[in-house]
Structure 1
Amino acid sequence: MAMTGVLRPGHVAIRVLDLDEAVKFYSDVMGLVETGRDDMGRVYFKCWDEQDHNSYIIREADQAGVDFVGFKVLDNETLNKLEKDLNEFGIETRRIEAGEMLETGERVRFTLPSGHEFELYADKTKVGNGMGLTNPAPWYTQSEHGIAPVRLDHMLLYGPNIAEVKKIFCDVLGFFLVERVLGEDNETEAALWLSCSHKVHDIAFVEYPEPGKLHHTSFLMESWERVLRAGDIMSMNEVAVDIGPTRHGITRGCTIYAWDPSGNRFETFMGGYHPYPDYETITWTWDNFAQGLDYPQRKLHESFLTVVS
């Protein structure tokens, strides 16, 4: 498919309770690559196979959770058009100047009806993956350090008014609805999986009374074996695991969910199918949501449904 608008998840900014502890965790256990620090106290990371300067930013705060999520768009012309489209849809936007985040261009930020801060940007410095662009090797030494995910894959956010969120993403930003879970009334949409590409999802939302909550950030692994290896590394480092290893019915993804030292949930994820915009939406009814969440055990894990940051 021709990708001409919103391209992909670009970055997520996370709050942690102890910066030094978090840096050690994300560097040594997760195996992310630290790429910089700024005078606001933020530490920047990327996954080893990502080209851009950063995708995961942390800062110390009194409460864990998510500050904002950013998606990359094709170019500045696209950024300007999408801002205009958002304004015409009734969404107030604000510009954040280039350089406010390290190596990142001007950003257009707005608040979703779910209470999350969301932004679009076109420019970020490319630093490469260490292998070059001519006759590269298939992997880099950094890919063997810690869990070493390939890239930041998606986020699941909890908050209210996801029906309004869906309109913004589908009617303005060009996403399409890949899968959904119906509520107990079998009419209301309780959860949404949205894509701007041919990935099974680039972002997801669950209806929840408190605004602006983070359920998890997801990191892509190359294979099921790498997910299992991630589980071994979690156990070696006494990381608190929520669910897995297992497979979802929803998205068909294979997964382990766990928490960083501050209580922010993360996922090591692989698999899923490859939808296109002409695919019909898959619907899961509430009475079968347990199989959608944990296909082998058919179990609704209480922590998965209730613990957010």
Structure 2
Amino acid sequence: MGVMRMGFCHVKVMDLAEARDHYVNVLGLYPTLETDDKIYLKGWDEWDHHSVVLEQGGVGVVSHGYKVRHESDLEDIEHNASAFGLSTQRISAGEHVELGDMVRVHLPNGHDADFYATATQLGVEVGVHNPDSFPTDLRNIGAPLLDHALFVGDDVETTERFFTEVLGFYASERMIASHEDGAPLMATWLSTGNKSHDVAFLKGPDGKFHHMSFALKDWAKVTDAADILVHRGYDMDLAPTRHGITRGETTYFFDPSGNRNETFCGGYLMYPDRPTITWTMDELGKGLDYYKREVSGTFLSVFS
């Protein structure tokens, strides 16, 4: 199956003007289209029309999208998802702004995943002909791109099976409840390429959103981002640290509506033949915050 990467996250926000200020002036994303109830944004190093959609009217995730390599992949996903036992829906080109025909799959964890092959391409902000290393008009954090997202729902096992058996992802890391044989799966980190993960799923209430993550260049950029957030009066959900899981370097914080964001860098390269790393819940502190080895009070309790 030709899934290349996560393409977008579509989330609801309480106040569109406040959300615009956060995502444009703090994270540094570029608005590409604004309507009465939605804003579409992209990072400076993304070429498709958008990677984030903000919609007025609440909080939490509406859907998340994945770009596939070929139009024919959509038929395969639709057929194989139905054979797997999941319901699907066809969405015609243009119903989601600047995207082609889509197949929506209703996942076992209460989320909707959208798959598409075509998107209007606006190009990266530095161009592709003798480009500079970054744009000169960066705002504050200046996030280059959407990296991954973590979604919450009860049935992690079946969701993981769908992504691995039908879509061709593979598990880079998994967390189980205990050391006992047959212990329930609590979380999974899934890759479709060479990143440590493109998407992750955590056991919890169906249809909930944990975070979307924006890739930064290095640890210095992660700490710079945290400084900017403090300057702007934000409280850290997780101060700059290293994850044991993925080995990535991270900061967690919330947008004005309560949707969790992450700035992230690093992590190991993943390949399909690399052995899956297994964690147990008693070591979640080490997995989340490698240095303090503590689970923050909000990580397993605050979702949107």
TM-score normalised according to structure 2 size: 0.97
Unaligned runs of 5+ in 1: none
Matching residue of 2:166: 172
- State the secondary structure of the residue aligned to 2:158: helix
Q: Counterparts of 2:96 and 2:83 in 1: how far apart (Å)? A: 27
2:236 equivalent to 1:241:
yes
Q: Counterparts of 2:256 and 2:235 in 1: how far apart (Å)? A: 8
Question: Once superposed, which parts of structure 1, at least 4 consecutive aligned residues long, lie more than 6 Å away?
Answer: none
- State the secondary structure of the residue aligned to 2:22: helix
What percent of counterpart residues are identical?
A: 43
Matching residue of 2:17: 20
Matching residue of 1:140: 135
2:198 equivalent to 1:202:
yes
Q: 1:188 aligns with which of 184, 187, 190?
A: 184
Matching residue of 1:43: 39
Amino acid in structure 2 at the alignment position of 1:171: E
Give the Å deviation of 1:191.
Answer: 0.8
Moved more, 178-187 or 279-288: 178-187
Q: Counterparts of 1:218 and 1:244 in 2: how far apart (Å)? A: 15
Q: Counterparts of 2:84 and 2:153 in 1: how far apart (Å)? A: 21
2:212 equivalent to 1:217:
yes
Matching residue of 1:105: 100
Deviations 1:69-113 (A, max 9, x none): 000000201222222211222222111111112211111102111
Q: 2:67 aligns with which of 65, 68, 72?
A: 72
Q: Describe how 1:296-307 pairs up with structure 2 within 5 A.
A: 296-307=291-302
2:7 equivalent to 1:7:
no
User: Do the aligned residues in 1 keep the contact of 2:173 with 2:278 (CA within 8 Å)?
Assistant: yes
Q: Describe how 1:275-290 pairs up with structure 2 within 5 A.
A: 275-290=270-285
Q: Counterparts of 2:55 and 2:280 in 1: how far apart (Å)? A: 39
Give the Å deviation of 1:130.
Answer: 2.4
Give the Å deviation of 1:136.
Answer: 1.3
Give the Å deviation of 1:131.
Answer: 2.1
Matching residue of 1:255: 250
Give the Å deviation of 1:234.
Answer: 0.3
Give the Å deviation of 1:178.
Answer: 0.6
- State the secondary structure of the residue aligned to 2:295: coil
Give the Å deviation of 1:302.
Answer: 1.6
Q: Describe how 1:45-64 pairs up with structure 2 within 5 A.
A: 45-61=41-57, 63-64=58-59
- State the secondary structure of the residue aligned to 2:252: strand
- State the secondary structure of the residue aligned to 1:269: strand
User: Do the aligned residues in 2 keep the contact of 1:154 with 1:202 (CA within 8 Å)?
Assistant: yes
TM-score normalised according to structure 1 size: 0.95
User: Do the aligned residues in 1 keep the contact of 2:179 with 2:280 (CA within 8 Å)?
Assistant: no
Q: Counterparts of 1:185 and 1:249 in 2: how far apart (Å)? A: 18
Q: Counterparts of 2:283 and 2:55 in 1: how far apart (Å)? A: 39
Q: Counterparts of 2:35 and 2:266 in 1: how far apart (Å)? A: 35
Moved more, 98-107 or 262-271: 98-107
- State the secondary structure of the residue aligned to 1:110: strand
Q: Describe how 1:111-150 pairs up with structure 2 within 5 A.
A: 111-142=106-137, 144-150=138-144
Matching residue of 2:26: 29
Give the Å deviation of 1:185.
Answer: 6.0
Q: Counterparts of 1:11 and 1:103 in 2: how far apart (Å)? A: 12
Q: Counterparts of 2:71 and 2:35 in 1: how far apart (Å)? A: 25
